[in-house]
A and B are shown apart, each in its own frame.
Chain A
Amino acid sequence: MSAAPLAFIKRNYALLVVSAAFLWSGLAILCSRHQEIPAKNAIVLRLGHWQLEAGVREAFSAMAAKYHELHPDVTIIQDAVPETTYGQWMSTQLMGGTSPDILEVGNGLPYNVLLGYYNRYFLTMTAAVNQPNPYNKGTELENVPWRKTYKDTMRSVYVEEMQEYMRIPLSQFGIRIFYNKDLLKRLTGRTEPPGEYRDFLEVCRQIRAQRDALGKPYTPIAGSAFHVTMWDMMMFDPRTYGALRRLDFNHDGAVGNDELFVGLKTGRIDFSFPSFEAKFRMLRQVTSQFQTGFTGLGRDEAVFLFAQQRAVFMSTGTWDVGSLYEQARGAFNVGIMDFPIPTPDDPEFGAISEGPVYDLPLVGFAFAVPRTCKHPEVALDFLRFLGSQRGNEELNRVIGWIPAVKGTRVSPMLEPFNPHLEGIFPCMPVTLGGETSIKWQQLHSLYQVNQISYSQLVSEFLPFYLDHGDKEWDEMRRNARRGLARDDQFLAGMRAMAEGAAADEATTRWIKYRQMVASRILSRGLNWALLQKRLAEGVVTNAVAPYEFSPAVITKVRNRLRASEPSAAGSSQQKERL
């Protein structure tokens, strides 16, 4: 070899390596794309989603292959886009008319923007979800309308503002405690996790007392600012359930922030209410088991502590199951347990523990079909396939998530995620407007890290809340009124659609229109008026609470029971005869 080419290679070595790598990657991409190109006249559907968790892409590929077996002319290709950029990506795809044919919707955009997108870019699913799913043939769900085959009857994907179903959900989610089985056994000698609250605290105490080979203490619970919200949601906040009976003035089965404000303002309740105090006591007891400074830590730092076997417990949701098992593979065994609950004879919490914590069936992982889809019927059919009893079970089995459809089997590993559909729930929505919310967040954070006591929190927050609350209450009401133009805007569109529809469809459209007018316009101010009246009456000390029996009701019950007694009936008949 002459010296010139060698010199050239030596001189441009880096450039040549980069060029070769570039050429190789280009060829690899071309080859793989070529393999993906379907046969002529085939229908190709693109499916866009943000789920980069382990198993999701594999599950979609497997389900696409199964669907392809049933429909050889249909090929499904997926576009998995990172969560952080999903909102922007979806917006540009929809606006540019280049969106995938099936799109996961719900992340990365504020609700009002999403509502506009539903209107503008997506097909409605209402007609489809009211028909049975043909892929449920041969199952007990064969003749059941599709939406009724879901564990939450598809309530989570019903868009009230549009009176339409817009998406098809595919999985159910839940939150539980993950624990390191091996470490629990090594530090406490237990093979089963504690199910009861006092026992759980005792286990945490035992874990804290242990030291590793370097003399460092173990942390019972891996926590962070992200994780503490889950503990709050699943353990502390539901302790406030007792306030429902004092504050649910409109009997809608929940306490609104407006109702809590009226209750506090009129003296119907205060922060010494046992359920409120209990929530904060439990918060203090449990967060004391987290690592120091947990409020300043992020999600990954807590996961790292757990994966490094420095902590025994960590709370998270079904979405992390696959990833956590993967991280623990070969190092330790992961177990999943329910949040511990106090027993009825618990000295502190027994009196206010009325039951387990209600698990809202969180059904999500929901997909919609954009208007630009060239084969909407096929896209919908693929969603029917994924949302059928068998299809949904298989999809979620591969991912390692919980199916959203009734009668499906859940992997034994996920059984602790089976939701409790009866139980207590939070009834202390303190945030009212901007200033009181900020004040509450500041004081709540200080309480979480044990810098102030509960009485300090209350003495600093309550006067501020009652003082600024009046302004914020008025602003809430103004905001509600400001939404009127938007409702009118929407209703005018619905009405035009009803006027222009053919006979049968017009009936449906008019009914939807009237339901919307009734819920959005006619009843808009009614509840406010009732609460305003209570506020205007000022402090009361002897009012009958919403779930108390008034003397009039008790008298009625007494009279009815007396009248229904045989002797009473007999004597009245005698009187009649006389």
Chain B
Amino acid sequence: MKENAFKWRAMRLGVACFGLCLAGCIKSQETDRPEARVRAGWDNYRRGEYSTALKDFQYAVAHTPQKSATQLAALYGEATIWHLRRPDEDLVRAALLYRQIIECAPTSNEAAWSWLGLARIKALPIDGENSELQSQLDAYQAVIDRFPFHPAGEESFLMQQAAKLDVWDVNRTREVLAALQHFVKTHPQSPWLSAAYDLMAHCGTVLGMPDLRLDAAIQSWKNAEIDPANPIRDFSWTYWKLATIAEFEVGDFEMAREYFHKFIKESPADQKVFIAKQELKRMADLENRVQAERAVP
């Protein structure tokens, strides 16, 4: 009788252990799926756990069919780590992996971002100094030529223009302005329009074209993206910028007043409110002075 009870208890214990093992295995299989490891890789990357992230991506590369979407994603993750981890980066290995992705699936999403990755390697400063401009521009151009309407291609285009504007050069700025004007015409639906207009406004400053600068700044504001999850966007900085351009560069005091008032309403606790109120008064003073001068026969 006693022996039976003992056996019964042992059997129950065995079943429980088996159940536990099975649950563990199922869970382990779940987390060992390559797709899950790619996701885990990016989570670890964002936490700065580069070695763990690397293992995740390498596992996913080794356990997926050649050239499959998951393998490409894992390869891209691995390339990004070698490119951007600090310390212990390996730019040569990163470039090799980016090129491997491009070779495997030249028209894929990962290929587009890999081309941009290669360009960003070229753009990395060396001991704080800009790398050679022409090689940067060529690398960006390689993305633009292959993926002109892909997000990576559009981003690459803007990075190329920004690189050209890094040094004050009137002739080059004219080229950039023409390229940006062409971009906004040919990419009317691009989510990058606001950024493109911002660069155009900078061209206006360099070229001494205040009206162009003001128009571009307004277009940048009108094309600013609104996040549906956060629809109340704070535009106080934009109002401030438009007001100061209108006042000091264009001489359009009506517009300056409009945006200074919007700025004060949007951001009443901002340090710049005091300046805004002073400027409203100064504009009125100037107008009164001009009118007083005109009244003198």
- The answer, yes or no, to whether B86 is at the interface (CB within 8 Å) is yes
State which of B14-22, B26-34, B100-108, B227-235 sits at the interface with chain A. Answer: B227-235
User: Which among B46, B162, B198, B269 has the greatest number of chain A C-beta atoms within 10 A?
Assistant: B269
Report Cα–Cα, A562/B295, bound state, in Å. Answer: 11
Contact count band on B: 35 or more
Q: Are B165 and A525 in contact (CB under 8 A)?
A: yes
Q: Are A253 and B86 in contact (CB under 8 A)?
A: no
Q: Are A553 and B125 in contact (CB under 8 A)?
A: no
* Interface residues contributed by chain A, number (CB under 8 Å): 81
Q: Are A512 and B227 in contact (CB under 8 A)?
A: yes
Q: B144 CB to closest chain A CB, in angstroms?
A: 15
Neighbour of A253 across the interface among B151, B206, B225, B272, CB < 8 A: B272
Report Cα–Cα, A546/B165, bound state, in Å. Answer: 22
Interface string of A513-524 (1 = CB under 8 A from B): 011011001111
Q: Are A553 and B248 in contact (CB under 8 A)?
A: yes
Report Cα–Cα, A522/B232, bound state, in Å. Answer: 24
Q: A113 CB to closest chain B CB, in angstroms?
A: 11
Neighbour of A153 across the interface among B166, B234, B251, CB < 8 A: B234
Q: Are B251 and A253 in contact (CB under 8 A)?
A: no
- The answer, yes or no, to whether A547 is at the interface (CB within 8 Å) is yes
Neighbour of A424 across the interface among B230, B232, B274, CB < 8 A: B274
Report Cα–Cα, A129/B48, bound state, in Å. Answer: 26
Q: Are B268 and A421 in contact (CB under 8 A)?
A: yes
Q: Are A493 and B248 in contact (CB under 8 A)?
A: no
Q: Are B162 and A524 in contact (CB under 8 A)?
A: yes
A557-B287 contact, Cβ under 8 Å, with A422-B274, A521-B162: yes
Contacts of A528 in B (CB 8 A): 166
- The answer, yes or no, to whether B124 is at the interface (CB within 8 Å) is yes
Contacts of A482 in B (CB 8 A): 125, 128
Interface string of A96-132 (1 = CB under 8 A from B): 0000000000000000000010011000001100100
Q: Are B86 and A486 in contact (CB under 8 A)?
A: yes
Q: Are B162 and A421 in contact (CB under 8 A)?
A: no
- In terms of DSSP, what is the predominant structure of the interface of chain B? helix
Q: B115 CB to closest chain A CB, in angstroms?
A: 14
Q: Are B46 and A497 in contact (CB under 8 A)?
A: yes
- The answer, yes or no, to whether A7 is at the interface (CB within 8 Å) is no
> What residue in chain A is nearest B205 (Cβ atoms)?
A530
Report Cα–Cα, A479/B128, bound state, in Å. Answer: 6
User: Which among A479, A496, A505 has the greatest number of chain B C-beta atoms within 10 A?
Assistant: A496
State which of A271-279, A354-362, A381-389 sits at the interface with chain B. Answer: A354-362
> What residue in chain B is nearest A421 (Cβ atoms)?
B269
Neighbour of A529 across the interface among B158, B165, B194, B249, CB < 8 A: B165
- The answer, yes or no, to whether B271 is at the interface (CB within 8 Å) is yes
Q: A279 CB to closest chain B CB, in angstroms?
A: 18
Q: Are A507 and B275 in contact (CB under 8 A)?
A: no
- The answer, yes or no, to whether B168 is at the interface (CB within 8 Å) is yes
Report Cα–Cα, A126/B249, bound state, in Å. Answer: 37
Q: Are B248 and A251 in contact (CB under 8 A)?
A: yes
Report Cα–Cα, A422/B151, bound state, in Å. Answer: 43
Q: B191 CB to closest chain A CB, in angstroms?
A: 6
Q: Are A127 and B229 in contact (CB under 8 A)?
A: yes
26 CB < 8 A contacts A-B: A120-B48, A148-B232, A251-B241, A251-B245, A475-B128, A478-B125, A482-B128, A484-B125, A485-B86, A488-B124, A496-B46, A497-B42, A499-B109, A507-B227, A510-B151, A510-B191, A511-B225, A515-B225, A522-B159, A522-B199, A525-B167, A530-B168, A553-B247, A556-B251, A558-B290, A558-B294
4 closest A-B pairs (Cβ-Cβ)? A478-B128, A556-B251, A553-B251, A253-B272
